[in-house]
Amino acid sequence: MATKRKSTKGKGITLYGVVLGLLLGLAAAVAVALFVTQVPMPFADKASRSTPTVLLPDVRDAPDPNLGLHGREGGAVPGTGVTPSITPPAGPAKPPAGGSDDIANLIASLGQGQTPPPGSPPVENQISTPSQVATPSPPATPSAPPAARQQGTYYLQAGAFRGTNDAEAMRARVIMLGMSAQIQAANVNGTTLHRVRVGPFNGLDEMNKARSRLGNEKIETSVVRQ
């Protein structure tokens, strides 16, 4: 029985504590609400205050800003009502009568000075007509090409030797190249020379080809025409 009484007593104390806490919280909330509503807020107070009205002076009582521009009597200088006359610009000065006569005489004298002498022909006659213009000379006809060299019989002389053996040796070299050659004896200043002649050739082209071939073999030749 004693245990049941202690538990019932503890539950009653706890319930009283909860109720007391709720009452204290409610009282604190009411106090805060009253404080907020009664005490003026700084930002809300500034917004709620009305802007002070500034009274401007009447325009008629305002000082005249152009007071310094008026005369000493304080009033504006009235207009005289007279419109100033505008002087027209002066025109160009007329030259004196005597000056115009001098200029006319000067022009007349210049015109007379430019008159061509009676002996000179008019300018139109001095211009040459197309017929008087020198006609260009016809182009010179090109000279006829030189006549082709006459075809004839040509020989190549492969050398002149005093000894017959030297002449025969040169003739053998020429024959080995497939060309005809012969030895001709000639008396020059009392000395007998044996000339080795290659040919004959019936044209310059044939002779030049043979001469070029002999030159490749180190055989010097000279042209002989008959």
pLDDT digits (tens, 9 = 90+) for 115-142: 555 555 554 445 555 445 555 565 555 5
Token pair, residue 9, equals 């007593």
Name the more confident of 215 and 5.
215
pLDDT surpassing 70 at residue 178: yes
Tell me what pLDDT residue 23 has: 92
- pTM, two decimals, is 0.33
Which whole number is the average pLDDT over 64-75? 60
The Cα 126–Cα 10 span in angstroms is 157
pLDDT surpassing 60 at residue 147: no
Tell me what pLDDT residue 28 has: 92
> pLDDT tens digits for 1-18?
445 555 666 677 888 888
pLDDT surpassing 50 at residue 144: no
Closest residue by Cα to residue 158 from 169, 142, 143: 169
Identify the structural domains of the chain with CATH numbers, from first to last.
154-225 (3.30.70.1070)
